[in-house]
Structure 1
């Protein structure tokens, strides 16, 4: 397996272990806005799907400026996925991804015309793979008590 493939695998693993991601987009007024989103699916880290409502401010903002960042954080590590978003009305894909969590936050079901998909086309992913809580504590203590730099896991950027 190449280094690139291993990096993409690491990014995917961190993303899978994160329940709630944070989507950041550029509001129509130009400010950065972040909102929690449940990742519904991803086909490799480069294509990520969220469910949302067409009438939301975020969809209107993304239609004006498609640049986004999606942050993932879990015990497995941290990922910052940069790319572009587009609104999709693919009803078959929406039905495929619709689940109880979507129904808890959105009304009308997958056939409601206000319910749409956000497809994120990731171009790069910055990641930090955590060595685990116990190992991180040991490494932090080592860094505090000695002149050695703590080893807090792998960090790199991968082009998707």
Structure 2
């Protein structure tokens, strides 16, 4: 599979389930949290509405890398995406990605001074993309065992996301 095809698979998976596990290094520890994101393919980034005071902005900007993990077990597709982080100060962009759900945390809407956007720009990704049929997986495992080979369970690759 060509990298561009794998990149498209990752973007499609991100679009299908917009809540991701976001990990970063903060105070010497790896911190992971679920975050709801918005795909901004035009600018090659994921956007997250967040509070300025939660510390995620500062921690993400200080972290050497931020990782987004996605898991689509029904399709046997998994990815760990390395990203660079930045803050998007644009109120216009914040209004464009605003959702009714965000209003639960920001009752003053997108003009709330504590609301800001965290942008994560994918730089590389490791993917695991295998057959989605559990019957096929079982068959490949059994065949490999009988033949004394390593099972072929799909693609495991690290790709450039830039």
**Could you say which TM-score interval applies, normalised by the shorter chain?**
0.7 to 0.9
User: More helix per residue: 1 or 2?
Assistant: 2
Relative to the length of structure 1, the TM-score reads 0.83
The equivalent of 2:140 in structure 1 is 139
Deviation for aligned residue 1:31: 0.9
Using structure 2 for the length normalisation, give the TM-score.
Answer: 0.83
Partner of residue 152, structure 1: 153
Residues 95-140 of structure 1: per-residue CA shift (max 9 Å, x gap): 1111123234444321111111111121101111232143334434
In structure 2, the residue matched to 1:30 is 28
Show the counterpart of 1:98. 98
The alignment status of 1:9 with 2:8, answered yes or no, reads yes
- Which has the larger displacement, 57-66 or 110-119? 57-66
Q: How many aligned positions are there?
A: 158
Q: 2:83: which partner in 1?
A: 83
Structure 1 residue runs of 5 or longer lacking an equivalent are none
Q: 1:154 to 1:51 in 2, by over 3 A?
A: same
Q: Which runs of 5+ in 2 are unaligned?
A: none
1:18–1:73 contact (8 Å) kept in structure 2: no
Give the secondary-structure state (helix, strand or coil) at the position aligned to 2:80: strand
1:128 matched residue in structure 2 = 128
* Deviation of 1:37 (Å): 0.7
Report if the CA contact (8 A) 2:14-2:39 is conserved.
Answer: no
Match of 1:73 among 53, 64, 71: 71
- 3-state DSSP of counterpart to 1:110: helix
Give the CA RMSD over aligned residues. 2.4
Residue 59 (1) aligns with residue 60 (2) = no
- Compute the displacement of 1:64 (Å): 2.9
Secondary structure at the counterpart of residue 109 of structure 2: coil
